[in-house]
């Protein structure tokens, strides 16, 4: 446990940033809420790309779908890696994919493919995932020897 942390009654610890960590074991990515939220975002992205006229823009459809799928995929891959360093790398890739999805959502809104209401909903989902990843990365950095 790092110097900046205190043990908690549930066997976890609390860091100086106010984060609480339990004894989550790497390799259980399906238990990560951020992975589940990533799946939901990817499914929502696939739903909007089926709608006309968006579905006819093959380039943008393919790009946003790939970026959305990259989020939970990289979370899973990072969590399955054996070291915090590798985990952090893949979580950062997933965080970058969130930014890519947010950018592409704004493009689809400006081109009239999606409404502002849908933009706000999906952008909020991606921002929550990005913030969760940022916190997970911070915890992994604290845990590094």
Domains of the chain are 29-143 (1.20.1440.60)
Q: What's the burial of 123, exposed, middle or buried (CB within 10 Å: 0-12/13-18/19+)?
A: middle
Q: Which residues contact 3 (CB under 8 A, 6 or more apart)?
A: none
Q: pLDDT confidence of 8, banded at 50, 70, 90?
A: very low
pLDDT value of residue 21:
47
C-alpha distances out from residue 56 to 52, 98, 107, Å: 7, 23, 15
The model's confidence at residue 27, banded by pLDDT at 50, 70 and 90, is low
Q: Encode pLDDT of 74-92 as tens digits.
A: 999 999 987 889 999 999 9
Structure tokens at 75: 């979370």
The pTM of the full predicted model, rounded to 2 decimals, is 0.80
pLDDT score of 141: 79
Residue predicted with more confidence, 44 or 20 = 44
State the alpha helices, DSSP H only, in the chain: 33-49, 58-80, 84-110, 116-143
Query: Mean pLDDT, to the nearest integer, of 31-37?
Result: 95
Strands 20-21 and 13-14: antiparallel
Per-residue pLDDT, averaged over 120-134, amounts to 97
């Amino acid at each position: 446990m790092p110097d900046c942390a205190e043990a908690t009654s549930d066997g976890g610890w609390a860091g100086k940033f106010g984060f609480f960590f339990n004894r989550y074991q790497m390799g259980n990515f399906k238990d990560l809420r951020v992975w589940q939220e990533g799946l939901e975002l990817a499914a929502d992205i696939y739903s909007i790309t089926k709608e006309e006229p968006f579905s006819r823009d093959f380039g943008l459809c393919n790009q946003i779908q790939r970026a959305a799928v990259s989020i939970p995929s990289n979370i899973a891959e990072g969590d399955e890696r054996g070291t915090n360093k590798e985990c952090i790398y893949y979580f950062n890739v997933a965080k970058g994919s969130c930014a890519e999805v947010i950018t592409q959502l704004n493009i689809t809104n400006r081109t009239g493919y999606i409404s502002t209401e849908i933009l706000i909903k999906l952008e909020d989902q991606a921002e929550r995932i990005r913030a969760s990843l940022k916190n997970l990365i911070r915890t992994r950095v604290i845990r590094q020897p």
